[in-house]
Amino acid sequence: MMPTQIILLKEGTDSSQGVPQLVSNINACQVIAEAVRTTLGPRGMDKLMVDNRGKATISNDGATILKLLDVVHPAAKTLVDIAKSQDAEVGDGTTSVTLLAAEFLKQVKPYVEEGLHPQTIIRSSTATQLAVKKINEIAVSVKKGDKDEQKSLLVKCASTALNSKLIAVQKEFFSMMVVDAVMMLDDLLPLKMIGMKKVQGGALEDSQLVAGVAFKKTFSYAGFEMQPKKYENPKIALLNVELELKAEKENAEVRVKSVEDYQAIVDAEWNILYDKLEKIYKSGAKVVLSKLPIGDVATQFFADRDLFCAGRVQEEDLKRTMMACGGSIQTSVGSLTDDVLGQCALFEEVQVGGERYNFFKGCPKAKTCTIILRGGAEQFMEETERSLHDAIMIVRRAIKNDSVVAGGGAIEMELSKYLRDYSRTIPGKQQLLIGAYAKALEIIPRQLCDNAGFDATNILNKLRAKHAQAGMWYGVDVNNEDIADNYIACVWEPSIVRINALTAASEAACLILSVDETIKNPRSTVDGPPGGQGRGRGRPHAH
Ligand code: ADP
Ligand code: MG
């Protein structure tokens, strides 16, 4: 009797499994790594990406590039996710983590093809724990007590992070700025207390750091010129109140019989407004900020009484002002008591390039600062902002965990040597697998060489020799096509970045290895052109 076939899934469901499936997933991950490979390191290239709306982005940041690629391959997506998580967790090392994960997979691919059980391979990821332990052992920590020493360490970390970016030429300027900015924050180092504003025009070096809140002056009416632009110790009213005559604007229909009636309505309108303005004036506030518009009557009223006002302030700016200056945002002017008013040491309005900026300095509540970026093209400034974000994250990390390792492939070479030595002490398949892991780590220095146009094999041979002779911190010297002690050369990175990159990469690799079947619902494959095109074997999203 013929066995009846059991139909479990809807017709058209695509399911692939077993070794070919694993190999195809590994291949997809290689494609992802290919996409970001050339961006690694100080000699890395940038990518120009144009989305379907024609918006162009230039970036060197692995996470940004992968986010924009819109990858649909399910396994390859894992790599995008770890890059994103690395970005969120430590903010740097996003290219490294992707490359490492892809390289781990590449190194074990022959074993998968030979039919070695994935679980055996996954077991070899104990090598990660060994590597992390080793990093912790050899990382150099700095004393927190010494402020000057701590600061110079932080500047070095920031400039290593900026090395690979478009703004590398101005890295000294920006690494000082980033370190100053982070050091202004309180102990928790909240990222959102660093505001970042972009003003087109001017040179990069015209960028400045403001100790406090700063934002662009919003649209303003006549009468504004008469308002004072500078106060010491002003009280600040933070409002979500409209201070504008409403009559014409609302388009309401009001039927009146006589001129007097009409006048009464107009008067009522004015009275309501004047009543609000009077209350604000009485509260003693010198600076009035509102999320909603402040009209010409109100502007003139405040100008006459020596007050400054700005309407249509962005919510984010208003909130940051509130957090920095204290007080709270009011939706009515009924109770503007002292405890809901904010305060700062100095308020002033300043010209920055073609824009007017409001500065609030000496904020008592929360320590905050604002970086005002200057520069030419918009894409360039956006990339600058992202690069500074990387550097800020690194500095924050370095303050929290003050231990560093040498970069430029030095730490990877040292770990590789350590694991290779270790693998020789164990028998069986694990020896080969841990050896493969050790080999995979070499991708970082290799790629740094490739991107700089160096002979990678030659440099790697030199590095292996040096590390065998206890030259622990030797890495790629990108300036002289040679190797150098990168600890002395001050190419430093917080050890947490490397630890996180290693663990995340190995977790992702294990995850991909542990998937041996993909089942695709037919619905998800009907629309869109047939697959097999584009990066990551993806199809563009159907929505
Ligand atoms: P990621 O997204 O992984 O941070 P980057 O493009 O920032 O990628 O490159 C980081 C790599 O470049 C790290 O391995 C780092 O050690 C290395 N690197 C940075 N500056 C230098 C330098 N001056 N010399 C050699 N290597 C460097
Ligand atoms: Mg980086």
* Averaged pLDDT for residues 361-386: 86
CA distances (Å), origin 516, targets 26, 354, 394: 11, 59, 37
The pLDDT tens digits for 196-231 are 888 888 888 889 998 888 888 776 666 666 677 788
Rounded to the nearest angstrom, the distance between the alpha carbon of 94 and the centre of ligand 2 is: 7
Ligand nearest to the CA of 493: 1
Ligand nearest to the CA of 412: 1
Rounded to the nearest angstrom, the distance between the alpha carbon of 407 and the centre of ligand 2 is: 10
Q: Tell me 330's DSSP state.
A: B
Rounded to the nearest angstrom, the distance between the alpha carbon of 96 and the centre of ligand 1 is: 8
| Nearest CA owner, ligand 1 atom 18 | 408
CA distances (Å), origin 374, targets 175, 196, 337: 16, 11, 39
What DSSP line would sit under 215-252, residue for residue?
EE-----TTGGGS--EEES-EEEEE---BS--HHHHT-
pLDDT band at 143 (very low <50, low <70, confident <90, very high): low
How far is the C-alpha of 329 from the C-alpha of 332, rounded, in Å?
9
Our answer to whether residue 186 is catalytic in this structure is no
pTM over 0.85: no
Residues touching ligand 1 (Cβ under 6 Å) are 39-42, 44, 60, 62, 92-96, 160, 163-164, 407-408, 444, 448, 476, 478, 491, 493
CA distances (Å), origin 198, targets 41, 58, 370, 371, 473: 26, 16, 10, 8, 39
Q: Please state, for a pLDDT cut of 70, what percent of the chain lies above it.
A: 90
Structure tokens at 180: 């100053």
Contact assessment for residue 234 and residue 338, using Cβ atoms and an 8 Å cutoff: no
Strands 369-375 and 208-210: antiparallel
The pLDDT tens digits for 418-439 are 999 999 999 888 999 999 999 9
Choose the catalytic residue: 92, 390, 450, 477: 390
Which of 448, 476, 478, 500 to mutate for ligand 1's pocket (most ligand atoms within 8 Å of CB)?
448
Choose the catalytic residue: 61, 87, 317, 402: 61
The pLDDT tens digits for 36-70 are 999 998 888 888 988 888 888 888 888 888 888 88
Q: Please state, for a pLDDT cut of 90, what percent of the chain lies above it.
A: 24
Contact assessment for residue 323 and residue 296, using Cβ atoms and an 8 Å cutoff: no
Our answer to whether residue 95 is catalytic in this structure is yes
Burial of 444 (0-12, 13-18, 19+ CB in 10 A): buried
E strand intervals along 381-491: 403-406, 474-477, 482-485
E strand intervals along 272-345: 287-290, 308-310, 342-343
Our answer to whether residue 299 is catalytic in this structure is no
Which of 66, 98, 477, 491 to mutate for ligand 1's pocket (most ligand atoms within 8 Å of CB)?
491
Dihedral of the alpha carbons of 309, 315, 318, 322, in degrees to the nearest 10? 140
Our answer to whether residue 516 is catalytic in this structure is no
* Averaged pLDDT for residues 108-127: 89
The pLDDT tens digits for 265-313 are 888 888 888 888 898 888 888 899 998 888 888 888 888 888 888 888 8
**Looking at the chain, how many residues does it have?**
543
How far is the C-alpha of 418 from the C-alpha of 468, rounded, in Å?
9
Nearest alpha-carbon partner for 162 in 204, 197, 200: 204
Choose the catalytic residue: 64, 95, 98, 160: 95
Phi, psi of 210 (to 5 degrees): -110, 125
